Structure 1
């Protein structure tokens, strides 16, 4: 669908008077104007930002290319929204309070109100540090601080890992399987092929929702594989004491293993990101980094880039030429 008005891709640029006029004329009851549901007036406020720097050439795994300051591009990240959900990052407690106050003031001027009961605050602690509570307030209401928060089907946590997200997907897949047990998986009138098709279409899809964006450790993959094996053995009526190998179970069900499925989804997603326009945030994040801050020494957290490089090596794809391969959609 083509937007009625041009979409401002570089959100760090100030809006024009014409932008304001169009935004105000497009106001709907209870909704903010603009294609991103954020009032354009908010962009003129002195709100703190997250500074990102990126460079699209030189190879995504060559991080040294980002040291050349004259060849890198900087952009500002103020908010991340989808539909009527919005996540606002901040580097300090003071930054987050200023942003929350600005959002609230602008929304009130447009006749809207922030739902403070649904708005949560979450701290991601630096490695080896525990930060105190930040006590962010909106209209004298202190926002609840949480260790994890559900956002668009994924789990955001105070620790930058996917462990909680994986646990949440396993619970959701257990629930999906349980709701279908009587009508499908324990129904003797259905063929085994039909049961496997339903398992793949509903249960596995629930289990691996958004898996292409995960950064997984070996224990995370093992947890997902255990769930798949447990449910397939239930469907196929294979007892554990039969000593049937996991590979034999997958072959009997004609189902791809969890790790191979995740690798397929990851490669498909990163190819899609590579073909995006350079102003898109997913591509900026893949080809860039935070302008401020450093990674700790020793054994820092696994990054998506690190996992992608391992995946390319595992699938015999040259890390130096994968971008050219991804540009060819027919490959």
Structure 2
């Protein structure tokens, strides 16, 4: 208790385990600071790449908005939420980052750009008035 090193030294079969700041476990990054900041940023970046790769689908007027939302949920949102069971979201910044990503997805899907100055409420209304439930990230 009185030592300067708060970490316990662990030996397995006489070998000392290495002390690391972070490591990958089942595809998720576990960090020693017990926050999920790095993991949330990484998942959002990977999901944003998936969102961008589907740009031709989002622009296609022959595909219904319902089918686009199904694709968004199956590919992009599932990528973003992979491993979310282990995230700690007590910090409001991470929750805002996830909510901003969600709205960015819907803006891209609807073809609404930030320069058009449409409010988040407008985007949510546009999605929900088409008969679609968007309560995905509310459960994270």
Q: TM-score, normalised by structure 1?
A: 0.35
1:170 and 1:207 in contact (8 A); partners too: yes
Q: CA RMSD in A?
A: 2.4
Counterparts of 1:278-293 in structure 2, within 5 Å, are none
Per-residue CA deviation, residues 76-115 of structure 1 (Å, 9 max, x unaligned), is: xxxxxxxxxxxxxxx622x2xx21647xxxxxxxxxxxxx
1:176 and 1:202 in contact (8 A); partners too: yes
Structure 1 unmatched runs, 5+:
1-90, 103-135, 138-142, 263-331
Per-residue CA deviation, residues 12-70 of structure 1 (Å, 9 max, x unaligned), is: xxxxxxxxxxxxxxxxxxxxxxxxxxxxxxxxxxxxxxxxxxxxxxxxxxxxxxxxxxx
Per-residue CA deviation, residues 256-303 of structure 1 (Å, 9 max, x unaligned), is: 2555232xxxxxxxxxxxxxxxxxxxxxxxxxxxxxxxxxxxxxxxxx
Tell me which stretches of 4 or more aligned residues in structure 1 moved more than 3 Å. Answer: 186-189
1:209 aligns with 2:122: no
SS at match of 1:160: coil
1:166 aligns with 2:40: yes
Report the Cα distance in structure 1 between the residues aligned to 2:75 and 2:37, rounded to whole angstroms.
Answer: 22
Q: TM-score, normalised by structure 2?
A: 0.75
- Structure 1 residue 236: Cα displacement: 0.3
Correspondence for 1:242 among 116, 120, 132: 116
- Higher helix content, 1 or 2: 2
Counterparts of 1:1-331 in structure 2, within 5 Å, are 92-93=8-9, 95=10, 98-99=11-12, 101=14, 136=16, 146-182=20-56, 184-216=57-89, 217-253=91-127, 254-257=132-135, 259-262=137-140
Report the Cα distance in structure 1 between the residues aligned to 2:139 and 2:115, rounded to whole angstroms.
Answer: 27
SS at match of 2:82: coil
Q: How many residues align?
A: 129
Query: Cα–Cα, structure 1 residues 233 and 206, in superposed 2: closer, same or farther, change >3 Å?
Result: same
Report the Cα distance in structure 2 between the residues aligned to 1:237 and 1:163, rounded to whole angstroms.
Answer: 29
Higher-Rg member (1/2): 1
Report the Cα distance in structure 2 between the residues aligned to 1:175 and 1:213, rounded to whole angstroms.
Answer: 22
Report the Cα distance in structure 2 between the residues aligned to 1:173 and 1:100, rounded to whole angstroms.
Answer: 41
Larger RCO of the pair (alpha carbons < 8 Å, separation 6+): 2
Structure 2 unmatched runs, 5+:
1-6
1:169 and 1:206 in contact (8 A); partners too: yes
SS at match of 1:150: strand
Query: Cα–Cα, structure 1 residues 239 and 177, in superposed 2: closer, same or farther, change >3 Å?
Result: closer
Report the Cα distance in structure 2 between the residues aligned to 1:258 and 1:193, rounded to whole angstroms.
Answer: 15
Query: Cα–Cα, structure 1 residues 92 and 192, in superposed 2: closer, same or farther, change >3 Å?
Result: same
